[in-house]
Structure 1
């Protein structure tokens, strides 16, 4: 005897499963897009920041991640000493330095405040 349920089960078996490549292809594409849109730019920013940190020198005018503007007066292994105002020095971690400003920025700010 031939039953309908046997015929349906046989048809489902013949359809087969998708290939392994077809199964993982969307996952691979999503990872590739994530890499090029998120991971790679972040690695590039980290390398640029590392170069900035390594290039710090005494006398540079910098802005920290907290927004402090000062001149580097001393360099240590992991810290820098910034002069924020006359007689006011602060130690911050090297990694807290976010930008090196052009020379004369602090002087220009002082002059513009005086006006």
Structure 2
């Protein structure tokens, strides 16, 4: 039986901003912000390195102290909404999803004190 998850959303956002770069590829950039609609969620925006100018937005929601649900919310290319079903986008989405999960595991000391 899992305890009710008690998270300080701002503390969590700060921890993610600090730890996530260590899981990312060189040249990629990101931002993390609290999801105002859900205190267990954060919005993570990735800017992919390279000339393609892709950006991907994810919602990361804590299911419990160790596990997150990751949803791809939006994909843009050069500032315009683009099809998220292309192979290139799917590969990037899988890579970023894996990085989010790895970061969540690394932060379990914050979420499960």
Q: What is the TM-score when the length of structure 2 is the normalising length?
A: 0.30
Judging by fraction of residues, say which structure has more helix: 1
Which has more radius of gyration?
Answer: 1
Give the number of the structure with larger relative contact order, counting CA–CA contacts within 8 Å between residues 6 or more apart: 2
Judging by fraction of residues, say which structure has more strand: 2
Q: What is the TM-score when the length of structure 1 is the normalising length?
A: 0.29
